[in-house]
Amino acid sequence: MTTLPSEALPRSAHGVTRVYLIRHGQTDWNAEGRYQGHIDSALSTLGREQAARLAVALAAVPFRAIYSSPLSRARDTAAAIAAPHGLPVRPLDRLREVAMGEWEGLTSEEITARFGDILRARRRDPERITPGGGETLAELRARGIQVIGEMVARHPGETIAAVAHGGLNKTILLAVLDAPLSRYWAIRQDNGAINVLEFDAKVARVALLNETAHLEAPAPPRMKTGETPAAQVRCTPRRPPE
């Protein structure tokens, strides 16, 4: 079992830096159970609706910057969130999803048929079992913590968003929770989910995990011409307990 030294986690020297770590909306490949990895895939109709709901739910959050994986499913989700704030989306390559090697583009059924033994072993031991040509969870976590650290250093005491992917998000969350990568399957990351990480001079913490209430609320009213989601609804995610 590999562990991450606590001193490797980022710290904010000036106040609390909050990172809204968000998973992109649904894609057609998500709905089909197809492994995406580094392959680019577009948001589905539902995924675009989820992105719009995220924009409404986060319209009142005082973001200073919006970062995203360069893959279009994350970038387009980030663009919807950024629009009410008038902010550009800043793509960062290290926010892209875990590389799944020879499994990318295949459905779960196809992987079971061709690589069943490896798939079953990975479900038992995700930390040590990796698809051929893929990225290990330790490698994924290392680049995730590195890019989060750079964002925190760039925005001390500010609030930012990072739109990424299920696999990457889970390894970052496990690191902040000081949990081993063997617990990878113990965390859910639904499409359109919100996590909130807080970093101060002493500690890193998870303040919110896999929040999806905004996806279950009634659909936002149809916008008038020229109106943004921020003009329609002011909604701030509930404050987590201290």
Write the DSSP string, 130-167.
--TT---HHHHHHHHHHHHHHHHHHSTT-EEEEEE-HH
pLDDT band, residue 14 (cuts 50/70/90): confident
What confidence score (pLDDT) does residue 227 get? 44
51 domain residue, yes or no: yes
User: What is the pTM (predicted TM-score) of this model?
Assistant: 0.87
Total of domains in the chain: 1
CATH number, position 47: 3.40.50.1240
Question: Which range marks the domain in which residue 206 is found?
Answer: 6-99+138-232
Please report whether residue 171 resides in a domain: yes
* 44-101: pLDDT as tens digits: 999 999 999 999 999 999 999 999 999 999 999 999 999 999 999 999 999 999 999 9
Question: Which residues are marked as active site?
Answer: 24, 97
In a domain, 237, yes or no: no
Residues 6+ apart with CB under 8 A from 46: 25, 26, 31
